[in-house]
Structure 1
């Protein structure tokens, strides 16, 4: 794992608080802001691909109506809300960004009763829950942002009940050597210091005490995600009257091109992981 420690949790939270509304304006107004699992290179349906990611992760984790789920880095809340609607589970979502938590709460209120979920502002390195609270801990494309990753692994292990399941997708740093373009457009852009390779992540989870760790690369899907998002951003920019917002969206579209190049160079990746706390 990269030892660079440039950005703090405060940097991360301030960035996402500041950019939430801009992301919502062009990426997905419903708040689905994570990577898609695409059927192939011809598949350009981002919403369906994003839902597919959520469903695959839930199925791999074995989440059902009996589950009590914690979504770490829940963002705008859509993953947890989808889980609860699809399986009947109960759950809690936690995120560093107060703006995203507010959006998640508004989405929960719009759906009315029937879903036993709630959202809370907080850190993955100090989870505000008792030991063994949850049967499942999940996350989508969020844990990479935690500066103190081993501490967050220990916290997720702690709040899982014995035999509980950790299941998440996350961005990867496949190599220690990151060029200036990837540093600018992939890492620094979202206040990401650096992270694990696929095998490095597997080792880190094992060191945290998890067993039965399964890891798989999904690099082709992340490349398609940014291909689709870059095209969408340029289309949205054409209809955006606000000059500052249009400039930001076009800069994001350019970053999408650079992100695809970074993936091709092996400087950026995406993986899905399932592990278990020993019984």
Structure 2
């Protein structure tokens, strides 16, 4: 485990990290002919599986990867795996990238982000359908709450108007093309997942998802992290999975989702939610629980930030 300590406002190291990670999406070395990148900051988060015990104030903690598969259906389905195929055949992909300026402390790591500040980052994965999007966007806008979204390429292709609407207001990241578990793929398939998703997301939303990435289902190993880094992404996980993706048929409710988030709240926490409905019971528990989550966290003294704001070392 690597921990980077210190006062972010004065740390020369942090200044180096900010410049280096910003270069991932902005320098010529990481540019692509697929589309013009956005200057909008994007980020993502980390699971309780690998959350350290008591972190030092304002520390970025990175964990050396082992093969890890989270229980969450990160596309909003009842299970974590959708398929193990590469991206859509024939889909336009960005040109190969050059060298990326990913900080040494973050390269080769699945990053867990913690902070001493009383803030929470809400994140939403979009992969299955869009049944909860309108409700989520209304709640976020009505309460003035920031959030970060992660699209699969197929979701962006299926819902281009919503992808553009979300990306116009909130930072976005790459969540693969079709949501396979990356350790099951070949190197070429991993690259296709990343490149095809990026092309689809840029085309649909007008925004570049780099440098932020979330592994489908939390399935990760050292090889796949290296491949993700080589495509100019830093992978991030989450601290709380609401389990709302399990739906009412899985014994969940909006009340249980909200209670889980409030019980697991911690300074600098990252909450994983989904925009879609359960494929069988059609419940959208994360969307339904969101007003209670926001109200409850604010009552406990928490504010809300995007992941880019939560993590000083990201653009």
Q: State the TM-score, normalized to the length of structure 2.
A: 0.29
Q: Comparing both chains, which one has the higher relative contact order based on Cα–Cα distances under 8 Å and sequence gaps of 6 or more? A: 2
Q: State the TM-score, normalized to the length of structure 1.
A: 0.31
Structure with the higher fraction of residues in helix conformation: 1
